[in-house]
Amino acid sequence: MQLSNPRQYPVAGDHADGLTGAADTRNRTSIIAVFDERYTHNGNLVFAATRHLMKQFSDSMTFQVFCRGKYRGPRFGQSSKVRVVGTAVTPRPYGRRLRDMINRRLARLHLIDSADRWASNVDLADEALLEALFRADDTHAVVVYTSDPAYGVRVTRLVHTYSTSRIPHIVIVTPAFRIADPVVQELRRLGARILMDCDSATGSLNPQDPGAPPVLNTAIHPAARDLSAMLACFDFPRPLSFIDPELYPYQTAGTDAAVAWTDWIGTHLAYRPRVRDIILFIRPDWMNCGSGTTFESLARWFRESDALLIDIGIWPYAVPFDLEEAEEKVLEEQEHIGSALYFSTRRSNSVPYLLRQLGLFFRYLPTSITRQLLLFNAAAAKPALLRKAVAQAKITHIYLNHYFTYGFARELIADRKFFLDTHDVQSINFVHNGSRNLFTRHGDTFERLLNDEMEIAAKAERLSFVSTGELEMAAAFVPREKLIYLIALPSIVPCLPRVSAQPVRLLIVASNNAGNIRNLSWFMFQVWPLIQAQCKRDGTPSPEVVVCGGIASAFADDVAPNVTFLGVVDALWPYYNDCDVVLLPVVTGGGIAIKTIEALLHERPVIATRHALRGLPSDLVDLVGFADDPHMYARSVMRAIASEASLERQTQRSRQAAQVLRDQQFYRRLAEAMDAVRLKATP
């Protein structure tokens, strides 16, 4: 029912933040209403909800309605100032179907990139909405009707990404009465209001559907009328009605109040501030490796620093996405990075696009492995939606990971300042891995590789290195004031104290790359046989080794006795918690070993080689200790597992080393460096 006095109910936290009165000089005259699939399936419901909104703002606003599905409700009429867009995997309007058909044919002729060359968290159903949000500064409010509040998070992040300083009013309307805490926290952080829809809860969203979210019908379930605990996450402590009862009769329960939209998105209310920063984050599309851990750690820090990411992952191989793989890729990124906008791109198959890269080709003739890798990554697809989305975003910082992403990012950077996170000097890896020049079929000298890498790296306004030694190398090419020593520490909960198992459990974590294969081979074939032989001589049970990570695909299951390969696991913490000692048998590679950082922060005893501790502060190296010779490494393992007292001593050393890492204040250094590459004033 419609309240005669819309102020009969209190608004939770109303004006508590002082956001009263006009605080934005822009002429915001548009309201966007977004309906997910479960709302869209009933066009009359969409029509009634939109008309209910229009009645309170029809004199001053225009309306855009976006449906994730084909809109089949009544027509709004030519004079109603409403634009309705229904897009989904269902058939599109004729004009869009024609455009799609033309695009498919052009892709077959390699004149544009086919859709299987990229994946994004903005799917087909939301492309039109994304383009509408490019004009967020002219938008008064965005109202999202959704059965899944996590979808509201996606839309809210995009609203921030395209707002200059203040965002439109954002309201999430949902029939779900159980909302995950992280979703609520993110919506609160981003200034969205959450209201519960009693209309949809009474059956219009087909609650018999087993895939539907939990819904509540207060009329049918009197015992559920006390909703105080369930509704704690909502901005109003009761379900509300959001439809025009004249257009959708006999739907609301008699005790449910109709929403007074002016209380939530009225023109007298000030607009909330945008998040502080919008980061264009360009990286190799790696997740299940040490670099992936770094990306996740950086994303966490950016979120905690009031920022949102536009995340672009480059995988420059001619392997097209299938639908299932693309969905998994997006889910993985959203879980670990949580960006507002995400694109994963594979090598382009568009001849015109590749021809446009000729300027880069002649600028960096592929005479060395360094330049060849740069050009190889520059061939990753850059679809029109990506270019438009980045061009319209209100970006405050550009953050590149690894020098070889510069070729791809160059067009997006233009002449703006950017931050380059080198992670490690790739030239060292080229030498250690025995990389060969594609043309000469021989390796290049380290001097030549480093010169070419630093030529590219020097274009950055700030460069970070994870190794003090590699920073000193760069200082010969780049002014020292541009260089910072930075390790993006992951957020890790230390493991619980434990009594050692019998037999003792040893843990190795490694992704599948050439360096890690050499490292693990050194342990398996030179160290492990010595440990086995010593246990046999002593008459003690042999330890058990568990290997986690993608490196499992490079070794046979029976490569060595008492060794189990688990492959990629969902979470590493349980394996760290259940092990007695973490082994770090690292003999090659540049930068730092992220697995070393993780092991120390888990505060488990570690047995490391000197190379596993490369780039770390000298006092930390002294605390941990190391053994490089196979016989010394085997003896170190045997000493560590000899008794509970030995394990406890090693545990204490790891705890002290973890504290040394935390005391470095790496993120303070990063914050200072990011201020130096800011593109515009803080909103």
Q: Is the pLDDT of residue 225 over 80?
A: no
Residues in the chain: 683
Q: Is the pLDDT of residue 209 over 80?
A: no
Q: Is the pLDDT of residue 81 over 70?
A: no
**Distance from C-alpha of 293 to C-alpha of 405, rounded to nearest angstrom:** 18
Reported as a single tens digit per residue, the pLDDT across 407-458 is 999 999 999 999 999 888 999 989 988 999 999 999 999 999 999 999 999 9
Of the pLDDT bands very low, low, confident and very high (cuts 50, 70, 90), residue 7 is: very low
Reported as a single tens digit per residue, the pLDDT across 338-364 is 999 999 999 998 899 889 889 999 999
Q: Is 108 exposed, middle or buried (0-12, 13-18, 19+ CB in 10 A)?
A: exposed
Q: What angle do CA 582, 587, 588 make, to 5 degrees?
A: 120
- Contact criterion met (CB below 8 Å) for 35 and 53: no
Reported as a single tens digit per residue, the pLDDT across 438-450 is 999 999 999 999 9
- Contact criterion met (CB below 8 Å) for 417 and 461: yes
Tokens of 201: 């809860």
Q: What is the pLDDT of residue 80?
A: 56
- Contact criterion met (CB below 8 Å) for 135 and 30: yes
List the chain domain ranges. Answer: 30-265, 277-487+668-676, 505-663
Q: What angle do CA 167, 67, 197 make, to 5 degrees?
A: 75
| HSE-CB for 38 with a 13 A CA cutoff | 26
Tell me the mean pLDDT in the region 277-283: 97
Question: Greatest CA span in the chain, whole angstroms?
Answer: 92
Give the mean pLDDT of the chain: 86
Tell me the mean pLDDT in the region 136-141: 96
For 267, residues 6+ apart whose C-beta sits below 8 A from its C-beta are 22, 60, 140
**CATH entry 3.40.50.11930 includes domain 30-265:** yes
Percent of the chain with pLDDT over 90: 60
Q: What is the pLDDT of residue 230?
A: 65
Q: What is the pLDDT of residue 214?
A: 43
Q: What is the pLDDT of residue 524?
A: 94
Q: What is the pLDDT of residue 60?
A: 78
**Distance from C-alpha of 134 to C-alpha of 264, rounded to nearest angstrom:** 23
Of the pLDDT bands very low, low, confident and very high (cuts 50, 70, 90), residue 460 is: very high
Domain 277-487+668-676 maps to which CATH number in 3.30.450.20, 3.90.1150.10, 3.40.50.720, 3.40.50.2000? Answer: 3.40.50.2000
Tokens of 261: 């939209």
Helix, strand, coil distribution of the chain in percent, nearest 5 = 40, 15, 40
Q: Is the pLDDT of residue 683 over 50?
A: no
Which position has the token pair 């969205």?
Answer: 192
- Contact criterion met (CB below 8 Å) for 442 and 436: yes
Strand partners, 119: 344
The pairing of beta strand 341-346 with beta strand 118-120: antiparallel
Q: What is the pLDDT of residue 289?
A: 66
Q: What is the pLDDT of residue 203?
A: 46
* The model's pTM: 0.86
Fold of the 505-663 domain: Rossmann fold (3.40.50)
Task: Report the SS3 class of residue 197.
Answer: strand
Q: What is the pLDDT of residue 333?
A: 94
Q: What is the pLDDT of residue 437?
A: 96
